[in-house]
Amino acid sequence: MTRKLVSLAIILPAFLLAGCEFGTKVVEQTGPRGAGTFQVANKSTMAVVGKVPDPPYPLTPDMLQGPRAKETYQNVKVLGDLSTEEFNYTMASITNWVAPDGTVANGGCNYCHNPENMASDEKYTKVVARKMLQMTRNINSTWRPHFQASLNTGGNAGVTCWTCHRGQPVPKYNWSESLPEPNRLNGNHHGQNAPAQTVAYASLPNDPFSALLQGKNQIRVQATSAYPSSYKSPIETTEKTYGLMMHMSQGLGVNCTYCHNTQNFANWSQSRTQRVSAWYGIRMVRDSNDNYISALGDVWPANRRGPAGDPRKIYCTTCHQGVNKPLGGYPMLKDYPGLKGTPVAGPAAPPAPADAVPVAAAADTAKPAG
């Protein structure tokens, strides 16, 4: 009897320490056999791919003809290049994506417009919507490499308002510079060493976003030589980088090997194409936060700001919501060509690292981080 108890005492801890988890597993090989690049997920906790609503009605070729929206309506500063019919079709879609009737007070068209004067900018929601439409077009034109690097969609994956909003005025997943401190009996941890949902419950800084998903701070973890002289990564920077990587892993429902080869995390030539997509994605998010969301400044009312008074911004989970391709990679732009946009005057998407896996990008003289 004693021998059996001793055996159980040895086997049970070993079983628990082995990381065993009950439930059916879904295993996907994402790299060469023998490389250990597998995605393992618990089927019961896998995120469900969100449904894409049907267009309000068919958009036929003849509807793309005729007078432009800016000629038909007053004060159309974005999408005025669309035909009047396509403009109406797109507005009907936006209403369904952001503020359907019955979901919010004054939903439908009235959420952004004064029904007595549709051209008026008196409602802040209309000013915000206009800026968000500019952001959407910018993402679909300037940041196409983010989609093309890992999706075989002919550039039609893209985003629409639905990608983030899913029928809600404010996207469910967003962040502010004042993230909630997890409740602990032993006091304030100053944003560290207290497992937080924002970094997949790792004991890492629970706000890696303020430093790395806005502005132009470098994302560095390790040097490329044994004795680095030009750049040293302080522990604080390294921890924030790991925190961001944990968020990306959780937000996309993947693990490290979705982008990296664990033989050498830093080596681009051994990485998967998805790492290039992520490299562009980080910079796309920064661009959106800096030049569109934060750029609205005082337009945001107090009830649309975070605890620190800053606007609620986007991160990877905003679009992905637990799946590696938002909405399963559904080609959103095939039904909404008016949101494709054209590259605007200004900085283009930067080229990917020179030693990255082959993509349609020029070589970079100063290797970017990330």
Domains assigned to the chain: 61-122 (1.10.468.10), 127-339 (1.10.468.10)
Instruction: Give the angle 364-367-370 at the CA atoms, nearest 5°.
Output: 120
Q: Are 126 and 113 in contact (CB under 8 A)?
A: yes
The pTM of the full predicted model, rounded to 2 decimals, is 0.83
Report the alpha-carbon distance of residue 253 to residue 274 in Å, rounded.
14
For the chain, 370 residues long, give each residue's pLDDT as a single digit of tens.
Answer: 555 555 555 555 555 444 556 667 777 777 777 666 777 777 667 677 888 999 999 999 999 999 999 999 999 999 999 999 999 999 999 999 999 977 777 778 999 999 999 999 999 999 999 999 999 999 999 998 888 755 554 556 899 999 999 999 999 999 998 665 555 555 556 667 677 778 887 778 888 999 999 998 878 776 666 665 655 667 778 888 999 999 999 999 998 889 988 888 888 888 888 899 999 999 999 999 999 999 999 999 999 999 889 999 999 999 999 999 999 889 889 999 999 987 554 456 677 776 665 443 332 323 334 4
Report the alpha-carbon distance of residue 37 to residue 261 in Å, rounded.
7
Residues contacting 129, CB < 8 A, separation 6+: 94, 98, 112
